[in-house]
Amino acid sequence: MESRDTFLLGGDFPVARIGFGAMQLPTAPTDARTTSVAVLRRAVALGVTLIDTAHLYGWGSNEELVAEALRPYPEDVLVATKVGVVRDPVSGDWGYDARPESLRSQVDEALRRLGTERLGLLQLHRLDPQTPLVDQVGTLGDLRREGKIARIGLSEVTADELDAARQVVEIASVQNRYNVFDRAYEPVLAACEGAGIAFLPWRPVAGAMADTPASAVVVEIATELGASPAQVALAWLLAHSPVIVPIPGTKQISHLEGNVRAGDLVLTNAHVSRLDALNDTRSPAPS
């Protein structure tokens, strides 16, 4: 059941409205890695049920970190990973590669690194401009029918690209850059609202502590509520749309705990209006 605190991702998996982005976590075998494992386990203990990782994050080392920390995965935890960006093993250069044969190989490698038989949510990190969209998402649809993927998502797409992908497969999530100061993807959010698709903003608290007039508004509201600017930025996202599931990331347990508490922060209508005015570009319909 959906509520202020949960979202039914893909129509069948309830996730807490604040997830966790693992990208920032150090993975080298040092004390920092031990802390990273502790952060991931603390996130789950606090009720976080959506963990976001990707092949690009450390070229697989981040996925392996998630597996080390959380396997065997709790039944109520959804691990989301991403494919479609690869690195040349010789030059070290990276690029997009979502050719069907490459996607199949990347998915198999993600399954191996995460130590699972099925990916709960597999997102295409970027559309490959050299491969027809129908081939890219069509391959993911085939892999879902084969049981290797449970749900399919996209990242950094336009509303038109989302619509085109939905003509081929069911899309469960979109992960685009978005926060109270940066709403360039408002039409995509509107499209997700209309279709009941989860919208996972990355960089959800970016700019909250910057030295700008707009950031000063966030700081003022945080002071009024006895909260942090990051908590206000997250609370605004939750209030802004029922399909938004922010995935803030951090290396520190204290910051993690603060981010999770943002789910309990209630903004007044006046607060929301002041925050809306920082970048009021909301469109009434998808474009």
Active site residues: 57
Cis before residue 74, ω within 30 degrees of 0? no
Tokens representing residue 117 in the block? 């038989």
Q: What is the dihedral of CA 188, 194, 199, 203, to 10 degrees?
A: 40
**What's phi and psi for 185, nearest 5 deg?**
-95, 25
User: What is the distance between the alpha carbons of residues 23 and 57, in angstroms, rounded to a whole number?
Assistant: 6
DSSP 8-class letter at 242: T
Handedness of CA 259, 257, 270, 209 (dihedral sign): negative
Q: What does the longest C-alpha to C-alpha distance in the chain come to?
A: 56
